[in-house]
Amino acid sequence: MVSYGYGYTRQEVTDLATDFAHTINIKPRNEELTLRWFEGFIKRWPELRVVKPGSLEIQRAKCGSVANVEKYFASLEQVVHKYNLQDKPHLIFNIDEKGITLNHKPPNVVSGIECNTSSVTTGRSSTTTILGCGSASGFAVPPYFVFEGKRMMNELMNGATPGAVGAVSDSG
C-alpha cells in the first residue's frame, strides 16, 4: 500500500490480520491478534520494516505525477536537441538552494524526576541559504551563502570551500 501513497500502522496491520484470521476460521471471533503477534510477523518477513514516513507537501506530490514527469522529460529532450547538448555534459548545469536553520529541535532524553533538562539553542530562528551548482560532467561551482543580517562579516566565511562567496539579506 505504501507504493500507492498509504502506509498501514502496526495496529492497522494487526486489525487486518485479525479480520483475515476470522474470515478463514483460523482464530475464533472473540480472539484478537496482538502487537506481540505483529512483532513476530515482522521477524518472519525481513523484507518488511516499520519506518516513519517523511512529509511530502501536497504541491510536490502533485508535481511528481507520472504525467508531469513524462512532460518534464519530453521538454528536457527538446531543449537538449534544440541546443545540441547531447554530447556536451560540461554545458549542462543544475542549481539548487537549501535554507538551513541553526536552531535545532532537541531530541527526547531520559532524565531523572528532579532534573530540569535543557538544550542550548540560538533563541530565535535564523536562516542561512546556500546555493549550489554543478555540471553534468562533474564540475562544481563554489557555493554561494546568503546570511541573515545587515552587514557582511568576513568571519562568516571562515572555513568555507575555496572560492565560496557570501552575502547578507534581511531574511537570509
Q: What is the pLDDT of residues 82-128, one digit of tens each?
A: 999 999 999 999 999 998 887 666 666 544 555 556 655 656 667 89
At 132, which helix (H) or strand (E)?
strand 127-135
Residue 28 lies in a domain: yes
Same-domain check for residues 39 and 66: no
Q: What's the domain range around 71?
A: 58-87
Same-domain check for residues 72 and 83: yes
Same-domain check for residues 76 and 18: no
Same-domain check for residues 64 and 121: no
Residue 142 lies in a domain: yes
Same-domain check for residues 121 and 74: no
Beta strands, E only, the chain: 93-101, 127-135, 140-148, 165-169
Q: What is the pLDDT at residue 111?
A: 44
What proportion of the chain, given as a percentage, has pLDDT over 90?
51
Model confidence, pTM? 0.53
Same-domain check for residues 34 and 98: no
Could you give the CA distance from residue 74 to residue 13 in angstroms, rounded to a whole number?
40
